[in-house]
Amino acid sequence: MTNPNAKTAALPYNRSRQAREAETMLDHITDDFDDNPPSMAYFYDLFRRAYCRGESIEREGVRVGTTCIHAPEELIYAFGATPVRLCNGSYHYDQIGADFMPAKSCSLVKATLGMLSSENAIPKTGKLDLIVNPTTCDQKKKASAMMAGMGHSVYELELPPAKESEQARVYWQRSVREFAVRLRQLTGKKLTRKNLMAAMAKTSRAQVAFRTLHNFRRKAPSLILGKDVFLVTNAYFFDDIDRWTDAVERLNAELAQREKDGFCAAQKKAPRILFTGSPPVFPNLKLPLVIEQSGGVVVADETCSANRMLYDMTSVDEWLLNNMVDSLADKYLKPCTCPIFPNNDDRIRRLLDLAKSFAVDGVVYQTFAGCQVYEMEQRSVAEALNKAGIVMLAVETDYSPDDLGQLTTRIEAFLESIKTRKRKAT
């Protein structure tokens, strides 16, 4: 383990600036709030170990990195390999990644590249045997060659540019089958009905746990805060899936108890916020945190680091291998509300439905500076929401902590305006 930077090499990881970035965020998440659910301790501890102390959470066997929710994890599990989601939220890596991308690019892509170029990448999930890079937005697409340039072996999983047509569906099903072939070469194993079924059951158990958690957030007053839920879903990126599911099930059991006891995790009148847009990834939980520090509560989200990643479930009509793989492909394409697709009525409808069924008071729309697709969709989303009588605040930000003060002011004003509106309405 050689480190080119002598100065940081002298410092143990847990005292580096990078570890401090994570630590500050975790401290805020845990210490700024009373009554954190005791079963969240598992997740707090996981992040402390992985991000603050730089402990290895290495996985056995073949490791497949994914840069997007479109890579079917069930296939990876079926081949006995482990998926690790690479989307990174660290400002430290964002700065390193700036060397690869143009100045005005998305923090998430830069941070991911920054992490991949580092020798002792945090979280320490071990050397990657393959990176699957679905061809989504331009920045991620172009990142492929850069990752390859860093010495990684990269597989471009070809996603169709639109998703509605039958051609797109068939094209994507073919891509997914190709991916299975690549995984067979990588692992030397065969895909069978049995191992795919077991893999799908693994994921679906996790999804059921997530959906249960999601449903608890409908309750008013809230049983759990959004900052905790983002941490939970972020842990899904790199944690062992069965252990993760167990921990979420424990959390759910606790929330059920909280419900019985009539517990309130936030003030009864706290504005209920739906979070959408660019995905919050630890340690960049800045915006959700500010919302809750300012007295709001994030009750639902529509982002690819949480809801979009875990919500939609597969249905299989005939449990034969071909059909199962096609069903998986469908699940990863059809319900996806990613802004890279030309039309996005699905996203708007999803937001409206979430807003309605979670009794949402306002929507916060995060756009990472440089993410054009989210920026371009902002107007149509705002219009649709406003038409339904829901206010939306659009926030452009990145991973740097510099805009924290300004963000806080804006969020506070937004929440205040919601409260005033509510008061007037009653």
Partner 1 sequence: MKRLKDAIDGVDLNRFRIWFQLAMFVLLVYGGYLAINLGNHLPMFACGFNQEGRGGICYLMPLQHQLARPWPQLFGMASLGVLTGFGIFWLWFIFLNKGWCGYVCPLGTIQDWITALRRRLGVRYARYTQDQFRHLSRVKYVLLALMILIPLGIGGGWFSRDMGTPFCLICPARMVLPLFTGDLSHLTVDFSSKTAVAMTVLGMLITGLFLTGAFVKKRFFCFFCPMSALHYLISRPALLKLRKDGDKCTRCGDCYRACDMEIKAIADDVKNADIMADDCILCLKCVAACPEPGALKATFATITIFESTEAGFIKRCQKGIGLDQPKR
- Name the residues that contact partner 1, by CB under 8 A: 164, 166, 197-198, 200-201, 204-205, 208, 211, 215, 312-320, 322-323, 326-327, 330-331, 334-335, 345-346, 349-350, 352-353, 356
In whole angstroms, the minimum distance from the beta carbon of 305 to partner 1 comes to 18
Nearer to partner 1, 49 or 205 (CB): 205
Output b/e per residue, 5-18; b: 16+ Cβ within 10 A.
eeeeeeeebbebeb
Tell me how many degrees the CA angle 388-389-393 measures, rounded to the nearest 5.
105
- Can you state the angle between helices 372-387 and 345-357, rounded to 10 degrees? 50
How far from 221 is each of 3, 36, 62, CA to CA, in Å? Answer: 50, 15, 44
Q: 3-class SS at 337?
A: coil
In whole angstroms, the minimum distance from the beta carbon of 186 to partner 1 comes to 25
In whole angstroms, the minimum distance from the beta carbon of 276 to partner 1 comes to 15
Instruction: Write a three-state SS string for 336-354.
Output: CCCCCCCCCHHHHHHHHHH
In whole angstroms, the minimum distance from the beta carbon of 158 to partner 1 comes to 19
Nearer to partner 1, 55 or 249 (CB): 249
Nearest to 303 by CA among 357, 364, 222: 364
Q: How far apart are CA 364 and CA 273, in angstroms?
A: 7
In whole angstroms, the minimum distance from the beta carbon of 152 to partner 1 comes to 32
Nearer to partner 1, 325 or 393 (CB): 325
Nearer to partner 1, 194 or 269 (CB): 194
Nearer to partner 1, 58 or 353 (CB): 353
In whole angstroms, the minimum distance from the beta carbon of 165 to partner 1 comes to 8
Q: Could you tell me if 64 and 76 are in contact, meaning their C-beta atoms sit under 8 angstroms apart?
A: yes
Q: How far apart are CA 327 and CA 312, in angstroms?
A: 12
Nearer to partner 1, 99 or 353 (CB): 353
Nearer to partner 1, 212 or 293 (CB): 212
Nearer to partner 1, 383 or 402 (CB): 383
Q: Could you tell me if 276 and 337 are in contact, meaning their C-beta atoms sit under 8 angstroms apart?
A: no
In whole angstroms, the minimum distance from the beta carbon of 205 to partner 1 comes to 4
In whole angstroms, the minimum distance from the beta carbon of 12 to partner 1 comes to 42
Question: Residue type at 171?
Answer: Y
Burial class for 374, CB neighbours closer than 10 Å (0-12, 13-18, 19+): buried
Instruction: Map tokens 């517990």 to a residue.
Output: 263
